[in-house]
Amino acid sequence: MSAHHQHGPSGPEPAAGDSFWRSRAGIAFTVFAVAAAVYLLFEHRVHVLGALPWLLLLLCPLMHLFMHGGHGGHGGHGGSPGGRAQGGRGEVS
Protein backbone atom coordinates (compact mmCIF):
# COMPACT_ATOMS: atom_id res chain seq x y z
CA MET A 1 0.00 0.00 0.00
CA SER A 2 1.35 3.39 -1.00
CA ALA A 3 1.59 6.24 1.47
CA HIS A 4 1.37 8.82 -1.34
CA HIS A 5 -2.13 9.82 -2.30
CA GLN A 6 -3.87 13.00 -3.42
CA HIS A 7 -6.69 14.75 -1.65
CA GLY A 8 -7.53 17.07 -4.57
CA PRO A 9 -9.77 16.42 -7.57
CA SER A 10 -9.44 12.88 -8.81
CA GLY A 11 -8.13 12.14 -12.29
CA PRO A 12 -5.81 14.09 -14.53
CA GLU A 13 -6.33 17.80 -15.05
CA PRO A 14 -8.09 18.63 -18.31
CA ALA A 15 -5.88 19.88 -21.13
CA ALA A 16 -6.51 23.28 -22.67
CA GLY A 17 -7.97 21.72 -25.85
CA ASP A 18 -10.57 19.50 -24.15
CA SER A 19 -14.10 19.83 -25.41
CA PHE A 20 -16.67 21.89 -23.52
CA TRP A 21 -19.27 19.18 -24.08
CA ARG A 22 -17.24 16.68 -22.03
CA SER A 23 -16.83 19.05 -19.08
CA ARG A 24 -19.19 19.11 -16.11
CA ALA A 25 -20.73 22.36 -17.31
CA GLY A 26 -21.27 20.92 -20.80
CA ILE A 27 -22.93 17.79 -19.46
CA ALA A 28 -25.14 19.87 -17.14
CA PHE A 29 -26.13 22.11 -20.05
CA THR A 30 -26.96 19.08 -22.21
CA VAL A 31 -29.14 17.54 -19.48
CA PHE A 32 -30.93 20.89 -18.97
CA ALA A 33 -31.46 21.33 -22.74
CA VAL A 34 -32.90 17.81 -23.12
CA ALA A 35 -35.21 18.35 -20.13
CA ALA A 36 -36.39 21.67 -21.60
CA ALA A 37 -37.00 20.06 -25.00
CA VAL A 38 -39.06 17.24 -23.44
CA TYR A 39 -41.08 19.79 -21.45
CA LEU A 40 -41.75 21.85 -24.58
CA LEU A 41 -42.78 18.79 -26.59
CA PHE A 42 -45.16 17.44 -23.96
CA GLU A 43 -46.64 20.61 -22.49
CA HIS A 44 -46.61 22.90 -25.52
CA ARG A 45 -47.07 20.43 -28.39
CA VAL A 46 -49.49 22.72 -30.27
CA HIS A 47 -47.03 25.63 -30.23
CA VAL A 48 -44.09 23.47 -31.30
CA LEU A 49 -46.04 21.91 -34.17
CA GLY A 50 -47.32 25.34 -35.22
CA ALA A 51 -43.74 26.62 -35.53
CA LEU A 52 -42.53 23.59 -37.49
CA PRO A 53 -43.28 24.97 -41.01
CA TRP A 54 -41.43 28.20 -40.16
CA LEU A 55 -38.48 26.24 -38.79
CA LEU A 56 -38.29 24.24 -42.02
CA LEU A 57 -38.28 27.47 -44.03
CA LEU A 58 -35.53 28.86 -41.82
CA LEU A 59 -33.54 25.66 -42.25
CA CYS A 60 -33.21 26.13 -46.03
CA PRO A 61 -31.05 29.30 -46.00
CA LEU A 62 -29.11 28.07 -42.99
CA MET A 63 -28.22 24.83 -44.75
CA HIS A 64 -27.26 26.78 -47.87
CA LEU A 65 -25.04 29.08 -45.82
CA PHE A 66 -23.28 26.34 -43.86
CA MET A 67 -23.10 23.69 -46.56
CA HIS A 68 -21.62 26.04 -49.19
CA GLY A 69 -19.49 28.00 -46.75
CA GLY A 70 -21.20 31.31 -47.45
CA HIS A 71 -21.19 33.22 -50.70
CA GLY A 72 -18.54 32.20 -53.20
CA GLY A 73 -18.58 28.53 -52.29
CA HIS A 74 -20.19 27.43 -55.54
CA GLY A 75 -16.94 26.96 -57.47
CA GLY A 76 -16.53 23.24 -56.86
CA HIS A 77 -19.34 21.98 -59.08
CA GLY A 78 -17.05 20.92 -61.93
CA GLY A 79 -17.62 23.91 -64.19
CA SER A 80 -15.15 26.50 -65.40
CA PRO A 81 -14.92 29.82 -63.54
CA GLY A 82 -17.08 31.50 -66.21
CA GLY A 83 -20.04 29.36 -65.27
CA ARG A 84 -20.03 27.19 -68.39
CA ALA A 85 -18.18 24.00 -69.04
CA GLN A 86 -15.40 24.14 -71.58
CA GLY A 87 -16.82 23.90 -75.07
CA GLY A 88 -20.29 24.61 -73.69
CA ARG A 89 -21.37 26.93 -76.51
CA GLY A 90 -21.81 24.19 -79.05
CA GLU A 91 -18.21 24.50 -80.18
CA VAL A 92 -16.35 21.43 -81.30
CA SER A 93 -12.95 21.08 -79.67
pLDDT recorded at residue 72 = 62
51 vs 73, residue with greater confidence: 51
What is this structure's pTM?
0.40
Q: What's the sign of the alpha-carbon dihedral 42, 43, 46, 48?
A: negative
Average pLDDT over residues 47-65: 90
* SS3 label, residue 24: helix
